[in-house]
Structure 1
Amino acid sequence: MTNYENYTFVQGEADVAPLLLLHGTGGDEQDLIPLGHFLSPQASLLAIRGRIVEQGANRYFKHTATGGFDLKNLESETTWLIETLQELASQHKLDLNRLIVMGYSNGANVAAKFILDGKVPIKTGIFFHPMILTPDDATTDLSDSAIWMSHGSLDPIVTEANFKALATAFTSKHAKVETYEAKQSHNLSENELQAAKDWLAQSGRLR
C-alpha cells in the first residue's frame, strides 16, 4: 500500500477489474479500503480524497452559503477528479474501461454524475446512498453500463423521490440498474454491503 498526498493505491491482481473508491463527506482515502477488499479481495484499489474542506470535512465539491450545491464548483472539481483519475490510472497501469467505481454518499454523488455525463469510460458503478445533483440533460448512451445503488427509507439526506430520479436518469440512458432499499438511515449496513458484493460477483464485471 502506497500513500501520497491525496490518494492511496493498493496493488491487486492484474486480471481482476480494479476499483476506484470515493469516500463520503468527512472521509478520506483510507475510509473505503476495507470495503474495497470486502467487495473484491483480489482487486487493485485506487482511493482519491476530495480536495474541498468544509468545516473540517473533506468533500468532492462545495455547498453554497445557503446550503445548496455549488454547481460551478461541482463542475470544476469533477474535472479535477477526472484528470487526477486519468493521471493515476496511467501511472498505475489501470484500464479505465474495466474500472469499477464505488462511492458512498458525497463520493457516490460525484461518481454518478460523471458517468451520467459520459465524461469517463467507466461502465460499472456501486453507489451507496447516492443522490442526483443536477437536472439530467446529457444524451449519453449507457447501454453497456451496470449500476447498483442503495437507499434507506429513513435517510434524512436523500429522499425517495431523489433516489428514484437518479435511477430513472440511468435507465433512461439504457443502463442496467439494480436498486437496494431497506429500512435504515444514511449509514452502511451489513446486509447492504453483502447485497452489493453479491451483485458484483454475479455481474460479470470482475474480470
Structure 2
Amino acid sequence: MAETDVNYRFIEGDPNVSPILLLHGTGGSEDDLLPIGRFLSADSPLLAIRGRVQEEGMNRYFKHTPSGGFDLADLEYETTWLFDTLNELCQKFNIDYQRFIVVGYSNGANVAARALLTRADTFHTGIFFHPMALSTVNSEQDLSDVKVWMSHGSNDPIVSADNFETLEDYLKGQHAQVDIFKHDQSHNLNEAELTSAKEWLAASGRLGQWNKE
C-alpha cells in the first residue's frame, strides 16, 4: 500500500477501548463520519478510509455497471483493497484488527455488510446506517460471534423494506446477532438512530477487552 494511494484519517484514542472504522456514504470523504464515531464512543481510536472509486465526481467504495446495477466484480476487488489497506494501517498504528467496530453509512454500510456475509475473518461488530442487500448471498459462514446494529427509514427511496429485510435474513441466517432500529424518515441520519446506535454499542460488550467466541 502506497500512502499516496490511500486517503484516510486516524485519530488516536484509548488503546484499551475498541477502535472504530468509519466508512462514508456516496459522495463522502474520510472526514464525514468522524464526529459520529466520536459520538458513538468518546475514547475509541478512529480510522476513516475514503473509497477510491469515483462516479460523476463522487467517492464510492465500488462501481455501478453501465446499466446502473452493482458491479459485483469491482465490489469484490475494491473490498479486498479496503481490507488489505485496513490491515496495513492497523500494523502502522498498532491497532488490534480483531477488535474493530465497523461503522458504515449507505455505500459504506453496503460494502461492510457484504464483506461480513462473504469474506472470512473481516470483523465481528458492525453498525450499519441504511444498508441494503446488493445481491443474493449463497455463502454459509458462521457469524455466531458477530453483533450487528442496523437502521432503516420507512420512507427511504433507496433501500426498500423488502431489501432491508433480505439483508437482515442473510445475517441472521448465518447466525449473527442482529438488532434493528426503524424510523419513519428517509435515507438521512437522525438523532434518534444515532442515540440508539450509541446505546447499543455501550451495551454490546464490544468496546472493552473481549475475546472472539
Matches within 5 A, 1:4-43: 5-43=6-44
* SS across alignment from 1:200: helix
Counterpart Cα distance in 1 of 2:25 and 2:101: 17
Task: Note closer, same or farther for the CA distance 1:13–1:59 as it changes in structure 2 (3 Å cut).
Answer: same
- Superimposed CA distance per residue, residues 61-93 of structure 1 (whole angstroms, 9 cap, x where no aligned partner): 001111111111111111111111111111111
Task: Note closer, same or farther for the CA distance 1:80–1:121 as it changes in structure 2 (3 Å cut).
Answer: closer
> Quick one: percent identity of the two aligned structures?
56
Counterpart Cα distance in 2 of 1:147 and 1:31: 21
Matches within 5 A, 1:189-204: 189-204=190-205
CA RMSD of aligned residues (A): 1.2
Question: Which residue number corresponds to residue 170 of structure 1?
Answer: 171
Structure 2-normalised TM-score?
Answer: 0.94
Counterpart Cα distance in 2 of 1:54 and 1:199: 34
Counterpart Cα distance in 2 of 1:96 and 1:143: 18
2:77 pairs with 1:63: no
Question: Which residue number corresponds to residue 102 of structure 1?
Answer: 103
Q: In 1, are the aligned partners of 2:115 and 2:122 still within 8 Å (CA)? A: no
Matches within 5 A, 1:34-183: 34-183=35-184
* SS across alignment from 1:97: helix
Q: In 1, are the aligned partners of 2:103 and 2:128 still within 8 Å (CA)? A: yes
Letter in 2 for 1:98: R
Which range moves more in the overlay, 7-16 or 131-140? 131-140
Query: What is the deviation of 1:119?
Result: 3.2
Runs of 5+ consecutive residues of structure 2 not aligned to the other structure: 209-213
* SS across alignment from 2:99: coil
* SS across alignment from 2:109: helix
Q: In 2, are the aligned partners of 1:109 and 1:130 still within 8 Å (CA)? A: yes
Task: Note closer, same or farther for the CA distance 1:190–1:40 as it changes in structure 2 (3 Å cut).
Answer: same
Question: Which residue number corresponds to residue 211 of structure 2?
Answer: none
Letter in 1 for 2:198: K
Counterpart Cα distance in 2 of 1:103 and 1:22: 5
Query: What is the deviation of 1:127?
Result: 0.1
Counterpart Cα distance in 2 of 1:19 and 1:189: 20
Counterpart Cα distance in 2 of 1:191 and 1:51: 31
Letter in 1 for 2:176: A
Q: In 1, are the aligned partners of 2:103 and 2:109 still within 8 Å (CA)? A: yes
Which range moves more in the overlay, 73-82 or 17-26? 73-82
Q: Number of residues paired by the alignment?
A: 205
Letter in 2 for 1:65: P
Q: In 2, are the aligned partners of 1:114 and 1:120 still within 8 Å (CA)? A: no
Structure 1-normalised TM-score?
Answer: 0.97
Which range moves more in the overlay, 132-141 or 195-204? 132-141
Runs of 5+ consecutive residues of structure 1 not aligned to the other structure: none
Q: In 2, are the aligned partners of 1:8 and 1:30 still within 8 Å (CA)? A: yes
